[in-house]
């Protein structure tokens, strides 16, 4: 989590592959505002330091009528 923006910038999960534990890291980058909420526009996924794929988002639309704005508020300290 980014200490200044509170955005999740990295997620690590562990998978079993060929009897070994494999770390899969996902990096969230290039945050832009979408409907008043910062959303990553680039997502990179790596396993054991090797790039698996990069997802680039060129368009994202918000659906503000279905979710109340306070759902996206910062956590209370």
Nearest partner of 61 among 21, 30, 34, 25, judged by Cα: 34
- Is residue 48 assigned to a domain? yes
Domain count, the chain: 1
Q: Which distant-in-sequence residues (6+ apart) come within 8 Å of 19 by Cβ? A: none
pLDDT for 13: 94
- Is residue 3 assigned to a domain? no
pLDDT for 4: 84
Global confidence as pTM: 0.74
pLDDT for 62: 83
Tens of pLDDT, residue by residue over 13-72, are 999 988 999 999 999 999 999 988 899 999 999 998 899 999 999 999 887 677 777 887
Q: Which distant-in-sequence residues (6+ apart) come within 8 Å of 69 by Cβ? A: 36
Matching residue, tokens 């910038």:
9
Torsion of CA 43, 45, 51, 56, to 10 degrees: -20
pLDDT for 40: 96
- Is residue 51 assigned to a domain? yes
- Is residue 39 assigned to a domain? yes
pLDDT for 69: 75
């Amino acid at each position: 989590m980014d200490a200044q923006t509170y955005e999740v910038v990295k997620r690590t999960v562990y998978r079993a592959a060929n009897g070994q534990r494999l770390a899969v890291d996902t990096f969230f980058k290039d945050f832009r505002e979408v409907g008043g909420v910062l959303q990553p526009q680039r997502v990179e996924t790596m396993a054991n330091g090797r790039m698996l794929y990069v997802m680039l988002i060129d368009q994202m639309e918000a659906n503000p009528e279905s979710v109340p704005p306070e759902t996206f508020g910062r956590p209370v300290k």
